[in-house]
Structure 1
Amino acid sequence: MSKSLPRKAIIAISSFTGAIYPDGHKTGLFFVEALHPFEVLVSAGFEVDLASETGTFGFDYNSLQPPFLSGSDKAVYNNPDHPFMAKLAKLNKAKDIKLGEYGVFFASAGHAALYDYPTAKSLQAIAADVWNRGGIVGTVCHGPAILPGIIDSKTGKSIAEGKTVTGFMIEGELVFNILDKMRHDKVVPVVEAVTTAGGYYSTAMSAFDDYSVTSGRLVSGTNPESGRSTAERIVRLFDNGMHP
């Protein structure tokens, strides 16, 4: 266990809720990309808080459709008394979060993350605080969009510098038929965000394979299917004193 770090995690959530899909539906939080890490971390004894840059959020339309939402996940979504849903209903604003209280920062996602994480200064500050105190930063899917703005105080560079990072693949953007829209909106795909920040992008065999990577204290997952495995890696890393 990392004795000097609090067993407390914060999950970042995107605030962006624009209509970006070809059918006019909106992006936002991809539901399971926050729910699954929340469940893993809580089960491992972490206290978990949720925050977005503005204290507001919306759900990604596709994340609420099958096959992405089904079974126990759908039951949680339909239960306002579930601890996760209760925390979403009273979502924290990032600037109101007190620094120094967390050992883990996790960037959940949805395509929305590409739009607001790069300029989410308060979320970036929380993540940098966790990192510079020796904690763990995790991301999933489009979450690495936040990495260029999380600065290592020792190097003055992104914490992704020299690290291996995975995230949503260009193949997946083509499946959602959204790449042209992303280019039009001048948002940066994950692979470009990672490499621009000095990281090494690692890809799964397929856009929707469960795939996650541990690189030092930076842990990342490729897609909605990878939220649990990414969080499980974080718990192991935390409990093993930052040794994978």
Structure 2
Amino acid sequence: MSPPRRALIAVTSAHAPLYPEGKETGLFITEALHPYNVFRQAGFEVDFVSETGSYHPDWLSQQKEWLHGDDLLVWEDHNSEFRSKLDHILKPADVNYDNYGIFFASAGHASLIDYPDAKGLQAIASKMYTDGSIISAVCHGGAIFPGIIDLSTGKSIIAGKVVTGFTTQGEEEEGVLDTIISWKRPTIEKSAAAAGATYVSPPDPWAAFAHTDGRIVTGANPASAHVTAEEAVKVFDKL
């Protein structure tokens, strides 16, 4: 019996100063919007969930180099399906994991703060993985993986897997590595290694790049959100 054609997009609840003048990181908007669009176009129902049932948009992700055209119109329209669902985001207690065939961890640097301890989100993804669903993450979304346990092994679901995610080089180029260290959080490369995974880099930190290993699908950066979701759908359709 194949999993339901529904996708659950996880969103960070965290926010913290990261950019000049104390502007904050939070949900990187297109890392939720682009997968949402892919899943809807592929005939999936889609819901959003965060650990606390709240979210805060990332400042950089709202700037015109990252959010423009139709994406900007959808974001600014509180009656759009995407924005309405995001503004009525679920909490883990509201979610029946049996209803979904894809779990997708969207991101933003804030994911590094709350995803490692997001027990509710991790439990949903762990149960979904056990039931045969696809588990996917883009950019900093991979911060959730060490806590998603394969119930058959007691280890992270990425132990022994090959994954990608945002590069440490990218953190250095953005000038935010020291801030991440001050949060006492590992980079995606380090958290993947600690979970027993092999990390693979994109051709450059900003190139669109996704990698599939079994039912684990990962993407490297904001530019990869669309292709990562497409790969997740491909794997789902092969089940």
User: For residue 88 of structure 1, what is the aligned residue in structure 2?
Assistant: 86
> Equivalent of 2:53, from 44, 55, 62?
55
User: For residue 12 of structure 1, what is the aligned residue in structure 2?
Assistant: 10
Q: What one-letter code is carried by the residue in structure 1 that aligns with 2:53?
A: G
RMSD, aligned α-carbons: 0.9
Judged with a 3 Å threshold, the aligned counterparts in structure 2 of structure 1 residues 232 and 41 are, in CA distance, closer, same or farther, namely: same
| Structure 1 runs of 4+ with >2 Å offset | 20-23
Aligned pairs for 1:182-201 within 5 A: 182-201=180-199
Contact 1:22 1:177 in 2 (8 A): no
Measured against aligned partners, the alpha-carbon deviations of 1:181-223 in whole angstroms (never above 9, x if no partner) come to: 1111211100011110000101012111000000010000000
Aligned pairs for 1:174-213 within 5 A: 174-213=172-211
Are positions 1:97 and 2:95 aligned together? Answer: yes
**What is the identity percentage for the equivalent residue pairs of Structure 1 and Structure 2?**
46
- Residue 49 of structure 2 aligns to a residue in which SS? strand
User: For residue 232 of structure 1, what is the aligned residue in structure 2?
Assistant: 230
Contact 1:13 1:52 in 2 (8 A): yes
Measured against aligned partners, the alpha-carbon deviations of 1:139-188 in whole angstroms (never above 9, x if no partner) come to: 00000000000000111100010111100011211222110111112111
Unmatched 5+ residue regions in structure 2? none
Aligned-residue offset at 1:23: 2.9
Structure holding more helix per residue: 2
User: Aligned partners of 1:199 and 1:117: how far apart in 2?
Assistant: 17
In the alignment of these two chains, the number of paired residues is 239
User: For residue 77 of structure 2, what is the aligned residue in structure 1?
Assistant: 79
Q: What one-letter code is carried by the residue in structure 2 that aligns with 1:240?
A: K
Unmatched 5+ residue regions in structure 1? none
Q: What one-letter code is carried by the residue in structure 2 that aligns with 1:147?
A: F
- Residue 92 of structure 1 aligns to a residue in which SS? coil
User: Aligned partners of 1:100 and 1:169: how far apart in 2?
Assistant: 33
